[in-house]
Amino acid sequence: MPIPEALQKAWDEANLLTESGDPKGALVILRSEAWDACENGAQKARTLCFAGDAGTVLGEADAANQKRHWRRAHKNYGKALNLDPKDKGTRRSMNKLASMMDEKSISLGVGLQMFDEGNPTPFGLLTILIAGMLVLVAFKVVTDWFGESADNPVVRLEISYMPDGASERTTVFIEIELYQEEAPLHVENFLLLVEDFRYDFTTFHRVIDGFMIQGGDMENRDGTGGYTGKWYGYCDGQEFDNSGNRYGPETCDLSDWSLPGEHTNGLKHVPGALAAAHAGLNTDSSQFYIVPGDSTPSHLDWEPGKDCSQESCHTVYGRVVSGLEHVTAISEVQTESGDKPVTEVQLIHVTVNE
């Protein structure tokens, strides 16, 4: 089966980034563009193998987090072999990484092994049998990008709205994986607000078809308010006042608390992206927006050389893993002046799935 052009392009770009010393950028491409373009198990296996290669290089470059990077890389190689157990190249790469980990006294982080040299172990056979039975009972698409979702929190949004053309409200659920390694401050802030129930019973005050749905103003509910869950060193985007004194939580009004942008993390505005809304550089706070399935607002992405003090650079810090169709449907509701939904789109409750 021929390889899709988009997939080959993503592979080439990712491998070039890995070879040029940007394995984190390679992983971003592999878990989004490449993974989405895969059409069969063999292509997914190769994508996972490339992710293992990138993770291995990332572990060599980032000594402080080497154990985590290498364990993820080893896990990706294992997943690749699960899909294509005869791939000798992946097996060699996996064994090489295992040797490197052994030299550093890093355990593989696994207890029971499913495959040995490409062949299922007794435990593996039992696991395959159980998995097959579960598939017969209920089919569920599990989004697990290269071992990272096991470490990343997933939030569940309960939303009530009036679909376009409908006469009654409906309640839907949207799950979003938060990328805490790529955007640690934004993820921490979002979770703090969730745990404090600040997002409950707020609204999506701004909805634009083919672009995004925006909410998170827990202060005024109309897009004019919002602040961070704790002090991050910025007061409405500024570190110092007009006299040159550094702001602190005592000298900055709570309503002006903001956090610095993390827009250079390599995450893009792909369909389903969760990003921080702001009114300028380093004014990110509680407001956020979600990109629907028919939108790719790349003009909001950071690119090398882009002056974010003059142009919009927004921090992407999560992506929808379930319910993207609901985001798209919400983006199509009828709106009035200021892109405000005619019938309120309510964010009823947000929970964290452990």
Confidence at residue 149, expressed as pLDDT on a 0 to 100 scale: 47
Cα Rg of the chain, angstroms: 22
Question: How large is the average pLDDT for residues 90-106?
Answer: 87
Confidence at residue 81, expressed as pLDDT on a 0 to 100 scale: 87
| Residue 190: pLDDT over 70 | yes
Per cent of the chain over pLDDT 90 is 69
Q: Which tokens hold the place of 167? A: 């006469």
Confidence at residue 85, expressed as pLDDT on a 0 to 100 scale: 82
From CA 288, how far away is CA 266, in angstroms rounded?
A: 18
From CA 287, how far away is CA 294, in angstroms rounded?
A: 22
On whether the CB atoms of residues 313 and 305 are closer than 8 A, the answer is: no
From CA 228, how far away is CA 317, in angstroms rounded?
A: 15
Who wins on pLDDT, 104 or 333? 333
Confidence at residue 124, expressed as pLDDT on a 0 to 100 scale: 56
User: Cβ neighbours of residue 9 under 8 Å, at least 6 residues apart?
Assistant: none
- β-pairing, 288-290 with 212-215? antiparallel
On whether the CB atoms of residues 79 and 58 are closer than 8 A, the answer is: no
DSSP H stretches of helix in the chain: 5-19, 23-29, 35-37, 41-61, 66-83, 88-103, 122-137, 184-195, 324-331
Who wins on pLDDT, 334 or 110? 334
Confidence at residue 2, expressed as pLDDT on a 0 to 100 scale: 86
| Residue 108: pLDDT over 70 | no
Confidence at residue 127, expressed as pLDDT on a 0 to 100 scale: 58
| Residue 120: pLDDT over 90 | no
- Domains in the chain with CATH codes: 5-137 (1.25.40.10), 154-353 (2.40.100.10)
Closest CA to 238 of 190, 276, 280: 280
- Give the model confidence (pLDDT) of 41-82 as tens digits: 889 999 999 999 999 999 999 988 898 899 888 888 888 888
Confidence at residue 111, expressed as pLDDT on a 0 to 100 scale: 42
pTM: 0.62
Residue 60: CB atoms within 10 A of its CB come to: 13
| Residue 218: pLDDT over 70 | yes
- Give the model confidence (pLDDT) of 266-315 as tens digits: 999 999 999 999 999 999 999 999 999 999 999 999 999 999 989 999 99
Q: Which tokens hold the place of 120? A: 């299922």
Closest CA to 347 of 224, 198, 164: 198
Indicate the pLDDT class of residue 170, thresholds 50, 70 and 90: very high
Confidence at residue 109, expressed as pLDDT on a 0 to 100 scale: 52
Per DSSP (E only), the strands in 148-187 are 154-161, 170-178
| Residue 128: pLDDT over 90 | no
| Residue 156: pLDDT over 80 | yes
Q: Which tokens hold the place of 137? A: 């009972």
| Residue 334: pLDDT over 60 | yes
Confidence at residue 285, expressed as pLDDT on a 0 to 100 scale: 98
Confidence at residue 103, expressed as pLDDT on a 0 to 100 scale: 85
| Residue 146: pLDDT over 70 | no
Least confident of 147-156, 174-183, 198-207, 220-229: 147-156
Per cent of the chain over pLDDT 70 is 87
